[in-house]
Chains A and B, each alone.
Chain A
Amino acid sequence: MRRNRLLQAGLFPLLLFAWACSSSVSYKKILVEIPAPKLVPLDEFKIIAVTDFWIAKSVPDLDLNREMRTYWRAELARQFEKTAVLVETPFEAEPAFGDPAFWPRLLSDGKETLLLTGKAQLTQETRKALSEDARKELDGPFERGKKLLERRVVTLELSLFLLRAETGDVLYKKDFKETKSFENTKQPASFAFFELLHKVKLKFVRAVLGESRAQDRFLISE
């Protein structure tokens, strides 16, 4: 009788141990460097040719086309690790970027050449906005009109095309729009231009190269 009770008393902890032993973590969340899919087969090209850009409206004190060409030539050579050259393609009208027949005739030898082209527009405007202080003082009826602040807003709209020079096929096309505002309403647009262009470049290069980003994923052990 006593032996049986002892046996039973010993078996209960054994059961508990067995149950505890069976419980385990079933998944783990880890950070994985996952690449984005490459959009352009860069390995197929040896040269990157930067054409002229179509500028719909010129900006005072800033040669948008020249600045863009110089910037993209230097940046693409560095980022894509290829030889980058400038090609003269003065446009009389807005070119048909999506027309494959248009591009091969511009280059005598477009073999293994990737073409960067596009259109750009830099606009500036003055906007009025309520200042932080003014929002707090909205209860005071005489304060409203006095705290309006003027801001200079500069916007860069840029459409970039990567084309296979030999055939004129569009390999990549994207429209970018970046904005920056200044408290100084006399700030020239050229002041913001390179900052906006740099923002575009980061997005463009990330998309084309398929740069990896750290992302969460669950690994399951059942």
Chain B
Amino acid sequence: MNKRVLFPVVLFCLAASIIATRCSRPLRENQLRLGIWAAENNLWEEAFFRWQKEIAVRPKSAAAHNNLAVAMEKSGRWEEARKEYEAALKIQPNNAQIKTNYQKFKENLESTDKDKEQKGKAADEKK
């Protein structure tokens, strides 16, 4: 093939592939983004539904697991939140945002654990 024609064709294919792969991301991420929009507007049930739907389609989505964990925390479902955070970290162990969220989640529970320890000590006092 003529070199003069080949170069523009390769360039065009490259541009087309970038558009196809990168610009199509928002379409794929619709559920995640809709969920975030819902959460920002305090529609947590809607957000919960969107992120669950995302996990059903893409179980390996660390973002969806992380967001769902936040929704679980919001509704006081601690054990489920822990599982979701752990699932997210298993997929993306070095994600700084997920690690920060998980750390704060544990800190929130920490004070309660200390209180429970005190309660246990009180029960042991007599034994």
Chain B 21-61 interface residues, beta-carbon cutoff 8 Å to A: 22-23, 25-26, 29, 32-33, 35-36, 39-40, 61
Closest CB-CB distance, B1 to chain A, in whole Å?
13
Count class of interface residues, chain B: 35 or more
A220 contacts the other chain (Cβ, under 8 Å)?
Answer: yes
Determine whether the beta carbon of A22 is less than 8 Å from that of B36: no
CA distance A218 to B36 in the complex (A): 10
Residue of A nearest to B81 (CB): A34
Determine whether the beta carbon of A222 is less than 8 Å from that of B25: yes
Determine whether the beta carbon of B112 is less than 8 Å from that of A39: yes
The interface residues of chain B lying within 8 Å CB-to-CB of A100 are 123
CA distance A100 to B8 in the complex (A): 85
Known: A15-B14, A30-B40, A34-B74. A222 touches B32 (CB 8 A): yes
Determine whether the beta carbon of B63 is less than 8 Å from that of A221: yes
CA distance A39 to B115 in the complex (A): 8
Known: A11-B11, A27-B97, A222-B61. A98 touches B39 (CB 8 A): no
B94 contacts the other chain (Cβ, under 8 Å)?
Answer: no
Fill in one digit per residue for B100-117: 1 if any A CB lies within 8 Å of its CB, else 0. Answer: 110010001101100110
Chain A 135-190 interface residues, beta-carbon cutoff 8 Å to B: 161, 169-175
The interface residues of chain A lying within 8 Å CB-to-CB of B101 are 217-218
Residue of B nearest to A206 (CB): B111
Fill in one digit per residue for B67-101: 1 if any A CB lies within 8 Å of its CB, else 0. Answer: 10010011010100000000000000001011011
Q: Which of B4, B15, B95, B112: most chain A Cβ within 10 A?
A: B15
Determine whether the beta carbon of A34 is less than 8 Å from that of B98: no
CA distance A95 to B11 in the complex (A): 86
Residue of B nearest to A215 (CB): B104
Pairs A-B, 5 closest by C-beta atoms: A22-B22, A218-B97, A220-B63, A98-B125, A173-B122
Write the residues of chain B forming the contact surface with A, with a CB cutoff of 8 angstroms.
Answer: 4-5, 7-8, 11-12, 14-15, 18-19, 22-23, 25-26, 29, 32-33, 35-36, 39-40, 61-63, 66-67, 70, 73-74, 76, 78, 95, 97-98, 100-101, 104, 108-109, 111-112, 115-116, 118-119, 121-126
